[in-house]
A = this chain, B = another copy of it.
Amino acid sequence: MKANAPPQSALVLFSAGQDSTVCLAWALARYGRVETIGFDYGQRHRIELDQRPIVLAALRALRPDWAARLGPDRCADMTGFGALAASALTADQPIAQPEGELPTTFVPGRNLFFLTAAAAFAYGRGLDVLVAGMCETDFSGYPDCRRATIDAMEAALALGLDRAIPIETPLMRLSKAQTWALAYELGGEPLLNLIREETHTCYEGDRTQRHEWGYGCARCPACELRAKGWAQLVASQ
Interface residue ranges, A against B (CB under 8 Å): 35, 72, 74, 76-81, 83-85, 87-89, 91-92, 105, 107-113, 116-117, 119-121, 123-125, 143-144, 146, 148-149, 152-153, 155-157, 159-162
A72: shortest Cβ distance to chain B, in Å?
Answer: 5
Check if A117 sits within 8 Å of B81, measured CB to CB.
yes
CA distance A78 to B121 in the complex (A): 15
Check if A79 sits within 8 Å of B80, measured CB to CB.
yes
A150: shortest Cβ distance to chain B, in Å?
Answer: 9
Q: How many copies does the complex hold?
A: 2
User: Beyond the given A84-B120, A153-B156, could you list 16 further A-B residue pairs with CB under 8 A, ordered by the A residue number?
Assistant: A35-B91, A72-B92, A74-B87, A76-B81, A76-B84, A77-B80, A80-B80, A88-B124, A89-B125, A107-B121, A108-B120, A109-B116, A113-B113, A146-B159, A152-B160, A153-B160
A20: shortest Cβ distance to chain B, in Å?
Answer: 18
Which residue of chain B lies nearest to A78 when distances are taken between CB atoms in the complex? Answer: B80
CB within 8 A of A116: which of B74, B116, B159, B161? B116
A165: shortest Cβ distance to chain B, in Å?
Answer: 10
Residues A117 and B123 in contact in the complex (CB < 8 Å), given A155-B156, A159-B146, A161-B144: no
A105: shortest Cβ distance to chain B, in Å?
Answer: 7
CA distance A176 to B4 in the complex (A): 39
Check if A111 sits within 8 Å of B80, measured CB to CB.
no
A86: shortest Cβ distance to chain B, in Å?
Answer: 9
CA distance A193 to B191 in the complex (A): 67
CA distance A226 to B83 in the complex (A): 35
CB within 8 A of A155: which of B91, B107, B152, B157? B152
The 9 closest A-B pairs by CB, nearest first: A88-B124, A77-B80, A152-B156, A144-B160, A143-B162, A149-B159, A109-B120, A153-B156, A107-B120
Which residue of chain B lies nearest to A162 when distances are taken between CB atoms in the complex? Answer: B143
Q: Which residues of B contact A85 (CB under 8 A)?
A: 120-121, 124
CA distance A57 to B154 in the complex (A): 40
Residues A143 and B160 in contact in the complex (CB < 8 Å), given A35-B91, A74-B91: yes
Q: Which residues of B contact A112 (CB under 8 A)?
A: 116, 156-157, 160
